[in-house]
Amino acid sequence: MKKILSIVFALGLLVSCTEKDSFYLIEDYSSVKKTDIHIHITADRPTFVEKAKTDNFHLVNVALEINKGWGDVYFKYNHGKNQQEQNPETVDLVTAFAVSDWDDPAWEDRVIGWLDSCFNEGAVGVKVWKNIGMVSRDSSGNLITIDDKKFDPIFEHIQQSGKTLLGHLGEPKNCWLPLEEMTTNNDRTYFEKHPEYHMYKQPGMPSHEEIIASRDRMLEKHPNLRFVGAHMGSLEYSVDSLAARFEKFPNMAIGLAARMGQVFFQTVENREKVRDFFIKYQDRIMYGTDLADNGQMTEASLVNRMDNTWKRDWEYFVTDHMMESDLINSPFQGIQLPKEVVDKVYYKNANRWFALKP
């Protein structure tokens, strides 16, 4: 009897040791290397980067054109560059280009010349934003779409330069629903504030499906381009739709920025399904937040927001705690991914998909 008891005890120890080795703990947060692949700094202060260093985060600062032309691209890229010059080991840069001069015959050369100058400075990728497909128009008044053949030489050039295309194309599906039917509180707040982007109120505009189809046609034309779909590739509402795209496009990965609410929402509905998705596609998913510093928040509230966001998500991925978040209205349980999956989603995948030199 004694012998059996001691065997049972030894087995128990074995199980708890393996468990300890398989999963990270909350307390491992600052010692594990992490990358946030989607942040925006347009301020000169060091607050954001200092907080990232304390928390062991590498950063990818993302430039974009908010439908305001080249000045907007330069402004955002140069702020990132200043931050990178001061902290080259912590900050990497994704640049962008404008489509405001789309019909100018010199547009293509201008874009390629600008991208080359950024690549020479070490930029690792190029962002295209939702203005393409939803806001920017050519001189005849037609919306510019991402599968337009005028983009082909640009994307070809990005691919041949060994760089990555980061695409925020379309919006969350919530954008096409009335406010009260949206699944997450952050979408509801955003579209309440930005009715110009709330497609439910803009009946003449393309549907969610049309925008995604246009993105998919672009990917079909450029099978060798490394493409990272920002915001879960705008298929944040369903891990099944994402899985289908992953199967169809081997060079497509996604970032999670600003869509943890949708991940939590799907976790409420079916936690095992979401967990299986992260495990099955562990090489295709990257952590990101969309955290930003435009200089308007106090340093204390900025640091507080970064701390809350980064630690909330860490808890969700590494523990099985019951959690609550103001992003959704129901409690949900952390998915406690194995260590090696956490390492990929939080660090290794970014190095591979953006060809970073860690």
**Which residues contribute to the site for Zn ion (CB under 5 A)?**
290
DSSP β-ladder status, 91-96 and 57-62: parallel
For residue 336, the minimal CB distance to Zn ion (Å) is: 28
Where does the chain have alpha helices with state H?
2-22, 47-54, 70-86, 107-120, 131-134, 152-160, 185-193, 208-221, 230-233, 239-248, 260-269, 271-280, 299-318, 339-343, 349-353
In the complex with Zn ion, which residue's Cβ is closer, 187 or 290?
290
For residue 294, the minimal CB distance to Zn ion (Å) is: 12
For residue 29, the minimal CB distance to Zn ion (Å) is: 23
What CA–CA distance (Å, rounded) separates 22 from 67? 46
In the complex with Zn ion, which residue's Cβ is closer, 91 or 342?
91
DSSP β-ladder status, 322-323 and 332-333: antiparallel
Report the chain's terminal Cα–Cα distance, integer Å.
Answer: 55
In the complex with Zn ion, which residue's Cβ is closer, 129 or 155?
129
For residue 40, the minimal CB distance to Zn ion (Å) is: 6
Q: Is 270 left (phi over 0), alpha (psi -120 to 50) or beta?
A: beta
For residue 13, the minimal CB distance to Zn ion (Å) is: 47
In the complex with Zn ion, which residue's Cβ is closer, 92 or 290?
290
Can you tell me whether residue 333 is helix, strand or coil? strand
In the complex with Zn ion, which residue's Cβ is closer, 79 or 275?
79
The residue at minimum Cβ distance from Zn ion is 290
**Contact between residue 237 and residue 183 where contact means Cβ atoms under 8 Å apart:** yes
For residue 112, the minimal CB distance to Zn ion (Å) is: 24
* φ/ψ (deg, to 5) at 126: -135, 135
For residue 169, the minimal CB distance to Zn ion (Å) is: 13
What DSSP string runs through 133-190? HHT-B-TTSPBP-TT-GGGHHHHHHHHHTT-EEEE--S--GGGGS-GGG-S-HHHHHH
Give the Cβ contact number of residue 204 at 10 Å. Answer: 5
In the complex with Zn ion, which residue's Cβ is closer, 37 or 274?
37
What DSSP character marks residue 1? -
In the complex with Zn ion, which residue's Cβ is closer, 290 or 313?
290
In the complex with Zn ion, which residue's Cβ is closer, 132 or 318?
132
For residue 42, the minimal CB distance to Zn ion (Å) is: 11
Chain Cα centroid distance, residue 103: 30
Chain Cα centroid distance, residue 340: 20
**Contact between residue 63 and residue 81 where contact means Cβ atoms under 8 Å apart:** no
In the complex with Zn ion, which residue's Cβ is closer, 64 or 318?
64
For residue 11, the minimal CB distance to Zn ion (Å) is: 49
Can you tell me whether residue 196 is helix, strand or coil? helix
In the complex with Zn ion, which residue's Cβ is closer, 290 or 293?
290
What CA–CA distance (Å, rounded) separates 321 from 338? 15
Task: Count how many Cα atoms sit within 13 Å of the Cα of residue 102 in the half-sphere of its side chain.
Answer: 22
For residue 65, the minimal CB distance to Zn ion (Å) is: 12
